Amino acid sequence: MKTRYSFGGDEHIFVEVDEEMSLEAFFKSLSMTTAIRDAEIDGITEICPANASFQVKFDPDVIAPDDLLGRLKGFEAVAENAEKTIDTRIIEMPVLYNDPWTHETLMRFRERHQDPQSTDLEYAARINGYDSVESFIAAHSGAPWFVSMVGFVAGLPFTYQLVERSRQIEVPKYLRPRTDTPKQTVGYGGCFGCVYSVRGAGGYQMFGITPMPIYDPKGEQSYLKELFLFRPGDLIRFKPIDRETYDATLAEVESGRYQPKIAAAHFSLDAFNADPEGFNAKLLEALDG
Amino acid sequence: MADGAAMFEVVKPGLSTTVQDLGRPGFYHLGLPISGAMDRFALIAANRLVGNPDGAAGLEAVFLGPSLKFAADAVVAVTGATMAPKLDGVEQPGWTAFAVSAGQELSFGTLKGGARIYIAIAGGIDVPEIKGSRSTYALGGLGGFEGRALQAGDQVKFAAASGSAKLGVTVPEELRRIPPASGTVLRTMPGLYWHRITEDSQGSFFEDTWKVAPEADRIGYRFKGGKSLDFVPREPPFGAGSDPSNIVDSCYPYGSIQVPGGTEPIVLHRDAVSGGGYFMVGTVISADMDLIGQLQPHQPVRFQSIDMEGALAARREEQSRLGRLAEFLGG
């Protein structure tokens, strides 16, 4: 892991903690951004954590760029020795896999896909070595996910599954991005999952849809008073649901009565690495308890 | 429309007319971009002409002006692109505060230069403030007038005026900054993933003339016509994706230049997507961001390499232009 610093024009410093994705890189980035935030450095206007990197926006009229760069580098050693733990929460997200709306959309953009003869789910299952779409969905929903970044568009979580690297799902993005993706599509590109917070363009493979809003510009949901649901460091469990449950959940959402299932959680990277399955089972218990 | 109420009705919306102020900083880490006027200097100038604070909300209209029928007397200034304002069909000077009487219709001539006009009304557009700003973020359906561009029939309120408008005063041309159709230079600090392309491509990127592509909006401006960039060979890092232009999804600075597939650079602007999986060659400096907002499709552009020292000097130059504007209007 080699950390690299670069100015992004006169108002940003870009810090790449590692070229490749890993939970170790995410935690080092998280430790650095937390320490930088706690230091309350004059002139920093925004700190944006990403998967294996982060970005600091600053006002060069308040702090000289080279001075800030020097200070940021000073947090690297601390971050390397920091405990790789986080007190967070686990959120259950109901998902109708193989739903009619993403299906209609993926058929509409088939000529932009690597494999026009299959659906996105069939393609992803096959290239990841699963013998059926069902077993692929079981793997996708079987282990929890880490929100390693929030962004692209408002409130969109990038998710990284808590499994050994050999079990990570990997899929390419569409050959050319679609111009349309249904709101609340559960998608996948590279080694990252995502949930599209709004309708719009997108290049990720589409696996299903959640009835649960995660961004609320019109202020319709009581649990979305802060506008966004997700923060980096949140945990997610995707729970497969059938059409009947989807419709019932949607009715609750539309009447403003829906409350997502959220439980407090503690994540320790060392404990996870020592026993991924046992650790995940405990995480999920918090939701089922 | 209620006579005398401080509002106007949208007769024709134009191509895309949105409420904008100086933006909504502080939520980029959750994917919510700053939004706000693409040409901030032009909005500030319009606000100062009508006696508003710099950050009051005005209208931004691109390529084609709207038609607005006023229900109450107002003071208005139009800045930015060269597009003559008209009151009941009678041409009014640009970059100048003028009075509008209740019942009059404000419309616009054709675009003669630049891309975006800014319409300030004394008192400022009165829409709800969301997360500290009245700016429209249309992609996320947030802010401005119901989270979207104006439509015919919308009734838009404005707040009480300060009474300190500079009626009849015109901002001198030497203080304005509209890119000439003959060509524009965007000063750029190479960096971010600059090392991903070959030395030859690093050279051609700055030497080539690029043209603004039709896909140019508040999210980003796309450019075409320069040579495709060649990549330094590598083993794709885990999670990045197989294309040589892919990276593990990271944050995107405002003004950053991503080049998907190495072919067409895209400069992210005020409604930027906050992150993604494409490498970036560098960042347009803050002093030149306003200029991008005034570029039309097909206009030629060159990127010019600049270091931090140069970027900070350009920043001071822009600040001094705002200072000269304040001095001019102060008298």
Nearest CA in chain A to B288: A9
Set of chain B residues whose Cβ sits within 8 Å of the Cβ of A48: 28-29, 251, 274-275
Query: B192 contacts in A (CB within 8 Å)?
Result: 6, 8, 14
| Alpha carbons B146 and B128: distance in angstroms, whole number | 9
Q: Taking CA atoms, what residue in B is nearest to A44?
A: B26
Residues of chain A with CATH 3.30.1360.40: 4-82
CB distance B253–A156 less than 8 Å?
A: no
In angstroms, the CA B260 to CA A97 distance is 30
> Which CATH code of 3.20.20.10, 2.40.30.130, 3.30.1360.40, 3.55.40.20 fits the domain covering A4-82?
3.30.1360.40
Chain A touched by B169 (CB under 8 Å) = no
Hey, is the C-beta of B285 within 8 angstroms of any chain A C-beta? yes
A94 vs A274: CA distance, rounded Å: 29
Q: What pLDDT tens digit does each residue of chain A (289 aa) get?
A: 889 999 999 999 999 999 999 999 999 999 999 999 999 999 999 999 999 999 999 999 999 999 999 999 999 988 888 889 999 999 999 999 999 999 999 999 999 999 999 999 999 999 999 999 999 999 999 999 999 999 999 999 999 999 999 999 999 889 888 999 999 999 999 999 999 999 998 989 999 999 999 999 999 999 999 999 999 999 999 999 999 999 999 999 999 999 999 999 999 999 999 999 999 999 999 998 7
Write the CA distances from B229 to B205, B221, B307, integer angstroms. Answer: 8, 18, 22
pLDDT tier for residue B181 given thresholds of 50, 70 and 90: confident
Record: contact A151-B315, CB cut-off 8 A:
no
CATH of domain A87-288: 2.40.100.10
Torsion of CA A213, A218, A224, A227, to 10 degrees: 100
Arithmetic mean of pLDDT, B258-285? 96
Q: How confident is the model at residue B167 (pLDDT cuts 50, 70, 90)?
A: very high
pLDDT of residue A262: 97
Residues A176 and B215: their CA atoms lie apart, in Å, by 15
Token pair belonging to B61: 């209209």
Are the Cβ atoms of A20 and B142 closer than 8 angstroms? no
- Give the residue from A37, A48, A146 with the most B CB atoms within 10 Å of its CB, the best one to mutate: A48
Contact (Cβ atoms closer than 8 angstroms) between residue B197 and residue B229: yes
Q: A interface mutation test: which of B29, B218, B304 has the most A CBs within 10 A? A: B29
Q: How many C-beta atoms lie closer than 10 Å to residue A109's C-beta?
A: 20
- In chain B, what residues touch A192 (CB-CB under 8 Å)? 239, 249
pTM, to two decimals? 0.96
Where are the CATH 2.40.100.10 domain residues in chain B?
Answer: 184-319
CB atoms within 10 A of CB B56: 26
Write down the CATH number for the domain with range B184-319. 2.40.100.10
**Residue in B131, B251, B273 nearest the CB of A50:** B251
Residues paired with residue B90 on neighbouring β-strands, in sequence order:
B87
Alpha carbon distance A46, A35 (integer Å): 14
* Domain ranges in chain A with CATH number 2.40.100.10: 87-288
Q: pLDDT category, B5, cuts 50, 70, 90?
A: confident
Check B312 against A10: CB less than 8 A apart: yes
**Which residue type sits at A238?**
F
Contact B249 A190 (CB under 8 A): yes
Chain B 66-95, CB below 8 Å of chain A: which residues?
A: none
| Percentage above 90 pLDDT, chain B | 94
**What phi, psi does A109 have (nearest 5°)?**
-110, 25
Contact B274 A152 (CB under 8 A): yes
DSSP state of A183: T
* Site from A3, A17, A153 to mutate, B interface, most B CB atoms within 10 angstroms: A153
Length, in residues, of chain A:
289
DSSP string, B205-265: HHHS-EEEEEEE-SSEEEEESSPPPPBPP-PPPTTT-SSTTEEEEEE--TTEEE-GGGTS-
